[in-house]
Amino acid sequence: MVANGRIYAVWREHTYKDNERPLDVHFCRSGDGGATWNEPVTVGGLSTMQGSLSLVLASGPNGRLVIAQDVRDEGGFTGEVQLAISRDQGQTWPKIVRYSTGSLIDPAMAFTNDGTLVLAGSARSQDGVRPWVIHSRVAVE
């Protein structure tokens, strides 16, 4: 993702040989077009033993960054989205928030111009697939 003259990258470290290790989420940034990168930061609150399909990054006002992933446990996907929130350009990720969305499919997120976080996607239920949208100022303030 590119925002405010910086390039941001987020990825999950997969380990296929050893199911005992957590799948860690890492974040780093570059301020010079990708020529150099800061040391990757592990976003520990998003680490999981069960993995996840999605990993989405959004940039908001005042240097705020949010990473979202779908939540999975031993029984499968829980229908929750987990958000990690940073207020210091991704140096630390002190806040983790979970939102229940039903059986989610392909979450996406962005900040509006006024700083509202919009989290959207679709959910599968007995009635079929339905879209959902969450607007939040509280979780990212």
Domain ranges of the chain: 2-140
DSSP secondary structure of 49-107? SS--S--EEEE-GGG-EEEEEEEEETTEEEEEEEEEEESSTTS---EEEEEE-SEEEEE
Q: Is the pLDDT of residue 1 over 50?
A: yes
Q: Is the pLDDT of residue 83 over 70?
A: yes
Q: Report, at the CATH architecture level, how domain 2-140 is classified.
A: 6 Propeller (2.120)
More confident residue, 118 or 106: 118
What is the reported pTM? 0.78
**pLDDT tens-digit readout, 19-49:** 666 788 899 999 999 999 999 999 988 877 7
